Amino acid sequence: MCMEKTNWEKCVDFHGHSCPGLAIGYRVAETALEQLRAMRDEDEELVAIVENDACGVDAIMFLTGCTLGKGNLIYRDYGKQVYTLGSRNSKKALRLAVKDGAWRGQEDLSREERMAKILEMPAEDLLSVQTVDMELPPKAKIFRSVQCAQCGENVMEARARVKDGKFACIPCAGEYSRGW
């Protein structure tokens, strides 16, 4: 008899391995969906802003359905275990941050023990959850493509640069910086 996998097991399959970071993202997504009274996203009903690029983001993508490709997963490189999830339907948004004290007493635990603890502990012991005002970005727009005059590859018009009076992709156009 084939048993249906749990959401956690499916999440691990998606990510490739189980780890404490994935468990954090799993709990963040689970808590946000519950408190927003939302289901997994199908077409940009939810928006997730993630402030790190760690394992937990995969769990948030898997459980919420928010993805870079749909334009409803926004990555901000702040290096913080903080996540904001908003619902277009309810106009409600939550900011979830891993509490500093959540790790006290876990220093000597193995990776597996720490992961199990994260999955089992009450959400209020793991996460600080605040209702926030969130200006939801517009739904993703499809832009026409233009051809880079240098490499010949197509680039989204909104991301193209102009170099010597012609369209160029970002790698071919190069970056301009004054050094700071």
pLDDT digits (tens, 9 = 90+) for 160-172: 999 999 999 999 9
Q: Is the pLDDT of residue 12 over 80?
A: yes
Answering whether pTM is above 0.75, one says: yes
> What is the 8-class DSSP label of residue 158?
G
Per-residue pLDDT for 76 more than 80? yes
* pLDDT band with cut points at 50, 70 and 90 for residue 140: confident
What pLDDT sits at residue 180? 66
d(CA 38, CA 11): 18
Mean pLDDT of the chain: 92
Q: Mean pLDDT throughout 117-144?
A: 91
Looking up tokens 């000597």, which residue turns up?
A: 108
- DSSP per-residue codes, 38-77: ----SSSSEEEEES--STHHHHHHHHH---TTTT-EEE--
pLDDT tens digits, one per residue of 47-63: 999 999 999 999 999 99
Higher pLDDT among residues 98 and 177, named by residue? 98
DSSP summary character for residue 146? E
Domains of the chain (ranges plus CATH)?
Answer: 7-132 (3.30.1330.130), 142-180 (3.30.60.20)
